[in-house]
Structure 1
């Protein structure tokens, strides 16, 4: 049952990583598996068996979520942006009670036993950062179709490092970073084209996309591993400030979601009502699943 539950949580994290403005790291925090995920990645070689047992269902679900939702995201954001964004907003904000609980425990264990000016500053700085970041997004994604040239493959490796590192940081959307850098739709198209080639049994179609996806994937694995080490250090040495920073990122996420998808421009009463229902359902699902993290 735990394997299935972790696979579902992994799928939600994968789906979140595909949505521009939605943070996979935030989703992991909301679902109550963030610390366990970071610890397993950073201690992969030190405690291999335990780490692999933790990572397999989460990464399996994550892969399924990314591949499956790469198709759905095009339709949903084009045709139902408001209900889609409200659903994911509910999934994100539903995890705040779990985060508050962990933060309170961190405050109790801290030297001062209360919030400090440094904690508040960490919250404000990261809140402001997450608000400012979407404003950098250009109106066009300049590389909608990627070709596997040597230069592009090198760039994609570094794009993978950057995107995966930001995917792990709660409140920062890796897909939004990819949009800012101009590679979001190119990667999404490569994923869907590879799956289309796989379904058609076309080796040439798959091979053309592997030249794009392999360097990006290698960079992504390296980025996740490096940033996990950093985040684990921050949790150990600056626990409350780290939680405060994450909280600032999470509370600013509604702006990033709605700004990047332009969902409010498609406001309709039926869409809004459906979205509110999905928001409540998503919040309940995240709150309920987050309680299972212990």
Structure 2
């Protein structure tokens, strides 16, 4: 049976994947489909491939639609209203944590080693804030070496997308190709979309197998790391203290909106 509900889920994941600092994997956790997503990606080449494709194709359609439609909007929001936009996603990320804690049953299952793993995961992602440097702009001269860079950038970014808390867009920003990729999507540059898309597909297939192995064999430890990654992403996306009273008020409203969005999505999906 086709899971057409995944179109809207994919649109939410796609919107988050465009934002540096926010992970599509984080949104998958809020929606309660993270485990199913990993299972479906790994099951594409199994005997039950039809069932998994009926889950993945609508999800992929939603992600694609969202990225194509929202790339320009997200770009505009970050250019004109960066702080309120970041505070919305900050609220969304923090709103995910109760669902993760519940799913991992932290109070009952976590031991000292799990909290250590959590701190390590948080530290890894939080340290990425050091690399938040501005890009020089879109790459104009595209040659074979640039296409190779874009392919591996897509590979690395998609590997990050699979992990809640690590933003694929932020990886692109660190590498220095974020503007090039988002601009290519906004302007429908087929060569950029195709090369980055192939890299993303390859990365998702590889990373999903790694994640599935750890979820199957080290479930609680894996959740400890995932929770740490999500906590660390708070430090990455935090834009700093708003400079004016108006900005304070608007940022507070968008932050609360992000929290409420996570809560509402969680209630709808888990119900």
Could you tell me the TM-score, scaled by structure 2's length? 0.91
Report the counterpart of residue 127 of structure 2 in structure 1: 132
Give 1:285 shift. 2.5
* Aligned residues: CA RMSD: 2.1
Deviations 1:56-114 (CA, angstroms, capped at 9, x unpaired) = 22211111221122101222112111221111122222222221111018x86xxxxx3
| More displaced 10-residue stretch of structure 1: 222-231 or 139-148 | 139-148
Q: Which residue of 2 aligns with 1:236?
A: 216
Number of aligned residue pairs = 268
Q: Spell out, residue by residue over 1:161-183, the C-alpha distance to the aligned partner (whole angstroms, 9 max, x if none).
A: 11111111111111111111111
The offset of 1:293, in angstroms, is 4.3
8 Å CA contact 1:32–1:289 kept in 2: the answer is no
* Unaligned 5+ runs, structure 1: 109-113, 195-208
1:122-158 CA-partner distances (Å, limit 9, x unpaired): 1011111111012123x33246134442222222211
Match for residue 201 of structure 1? Answer: none
Distance verdict in 2 for CA 1:266–1:96, change over 3 Å:
closer
> What SS does the corresponding residue of 1:95 show, helix, strand or coil?
helix
Instruction: Quote the residue 1:43 is aligned against.
Output: 43
After TM superposition, give the deviation of residue 214 of structure 1 in Å. Answer: 1.2
Query: Retained in 1: the 8 A contact 2:242–2:251?
Result: no
Q: Which residue of 2 aligns with 1:168?
A: 162
Native 8 Å contact 1:98 1:287 kept in 2: no
CA contact (8 A) 1:97 1:287 kept: no
Larger Rg: 1
Matches within 5 A, 1:1-294: 3=3, 5-46=5-46, 47-104=48-105, 114-137=109-132, 139-142=133-136, 144-194=138-188, 209-258=189-238, 263-264=239-240, 267-291=243-267, 292-293=269-270
When normalised by structure 1's length, the TM-score is 0.84
Q: Distance in 1 between matches of 2:262 and 2:45?
A: 31
Give the whole-Å Cα distance in 2 for the aligned partners of 1:268 and 1:246: 35
How far the C-alpha of 1:271 sits from its partner, in A, is 3.1
